[in-house]
Amino acid sequence: MHVTAIIAAGGRGARFGDARPKQLLPLAGRPILQHSVEAFVRHPQIAGVIVALPPELTANPPEYLRASAKRLTLVDGGARRQDSVARAFARVPAQTEIVVVHDAARPLVSDDLIARTVEAAASDGAAIAALPATDTVKRGNYQRLVVGTVPRGEIFLAQTPQAFRTAVLREALLRADREAEATDEAALVERIGHPVRLVDGDPRNVKITTADDLELAERLLGGGPAGASLIRIGTGYDLHRLVDGRRLILGGVVIPFEKGLAGHSDADAVCHAVTDALLGAAAAGDIGRHFPDTDPRWKDADSLALLARAVEIVEAAGFTVVNVDVVIIAERPKLAPYVDTMRAHLARAMRVADGQVGIKGKTNEGVGSIGAGESIAVHAVALLSGRR
């Protein structure tokens, strides 16, 4: 089944008091329009996406509308929504069997909802996502007086996507050309007398028309389960041998001791474990990949600088550091007097507050190489939050 998506993004509505059209306002760090376009670009049933835009945007489209894994066509929107959709429809490829129309202002549309709507259109010719009314519905007059109560079971609140067999939408758009404005494509299809199937909508599929909607969408994206969770956890581990003739450096602090840790860099196992935890949380590889010990640049390197560089890498991937926690396992020396200084050094390197860094010292109860004072091991976890 060949399915083409049309994203209606031609509106200039600026109800937010922002100079930009509302579909370009950022949601979780990306324009609302980008979320909506990507939902269809990544969907396995969608062959191509046509976006109807304000003309100034088609003339100079942002990067995410230029580079795409799928066929992405941009058209100038028209005065009315149905004009925008008609212009986009004119570019639908001949082999397309189902056209699915979506409002750019609904950036949280789920893969499932797209699939449900497309499948219902394939069987019934026309289908829209809609939610049953949960509030009691009153009919009122222009004096703001109730003139009746509408049976709630008859009321459904239309969303998009709305999907149609190509021939059905073609006929509806032809008719619409000569008629009054419609607020959605289903209304055009109703006018030609074709039945429209109601598909279970999604309460998360909010339409962003006010600043409150935008805030709600931010919350849904941040805390929701639908692949949008932007909290990431990472773990790191390091162990170095204790040898004569080296300084003992942990967490950027030079600790007076008769031995130090062997290694290519300053062998600061605390920084190394935290660096790996951060890189791991961002799925950005590990310390060996970014700072190979075969590279002379990192010989005797200050591991706090490597840690600072790792923070830059995870930030470039769209994350910020929430907190890190560290366990240092060393039989000797006693680390408690140095813990707060280590925390301050790590916090400065990561550009976070000291309160976001935990460090605990443990002994190994005399067991194994650590217990025998031959090595020191460090475990670390890091939590990142995404800004994408």
What whole-number distance in Å separates Cα of residue 327 and Cα of residue 269? Answer: 11
Cβ distance to Mg ion smaller for residue 184 or 238: 238
Q: Nearest to Mg ion by Cβ — which residue?
A: 272
Nearer CB in complex with Mg ion: 238/331: 238
Closer CB to Mg ion, 98 or 380, in the complex: 380
CB closer to Mg ion, 214 vs 271: 271
CA distance 315 to 209: 31
Give the span between the Cα atoms of 48 and 156, in whole angstroms.
29
Nearest distance, CB of residue 160 and Mg ion, angstroms? 53
Q: What DSSP state is assigned to residue 7?
A: E
The least CB distance from residue 290 to Mg ion, in Å, is: 13
Q: How far is the CB of 260 from Mg ion (least distance, A)?
A: 13
Side chain identity at residue 39, one-letter code: A
Least distance in Å: CB of 262 to Mg ion?
10
- How many angstroms from the chain centroid is the CA of residue 9? 20
CB of 263 to Mg ion, least distance (A): 6
Nearer to Mg ion, 48 or 263 (CB): 263
In DSSP terms, which residues pair with 362 in a beta bridge?
Answer: 329
Contact 23, 11 (CB under 8 A): yes
How far, in Å, CA of 374 to CA of 93, rounded?
70
Q: Residue 89 or residue 298: which is nearer to Mg ion going by CB? A: 298
Compute the least distance from the CB of residue 10 to Mg ion, in Å.
56
**Quick one: 93 or 288, whose CB is closer to Mg ion?**
288
| Nearest approach, Cβ of residue 250 and Mg ion (Å) | 11
User: CB 246 → Mg ion: shortest distance, Å?
Assistant: 13
Give, to the nearest 10 degrees, the angle between helix 166-176 and helix 81-89: 130
Beta strands in 287-386 (DSSP E): 319-329, 357-362, 375-386
d(C-alpha 46, C-alpha 114), whole Å: 9
Determine the angle formed by the axes of helices 303-316 and 339-350, rounding to 10 degrees: 40
| Site residues for Mg ion per CB under 5 A | 238, 272
Residue 46, strand partner residues: 3
Distances (CA, A) of 115 to 5, 84, 100, 171: 12, 24, 10, 24
- Minimum CB–partner distance for residue 251 and Mg ion (Å): 13
Residue with Cβ nearer Mg ion (185 or 238): 238
- Give, in order, the Cα–Cα distances in Å from 212 to each of 8, 19, 20, 202, 386: 22, 18, 17, 18, 21
For 221, 255, 308, 311, 360, the CA distances from 387, given in Å and listed in that order, are 11, 37, 19, 14, 30
CB nearer to Mg ion: give 198 or 305.
305
The amino acid that residue 17 corresponds to is: G
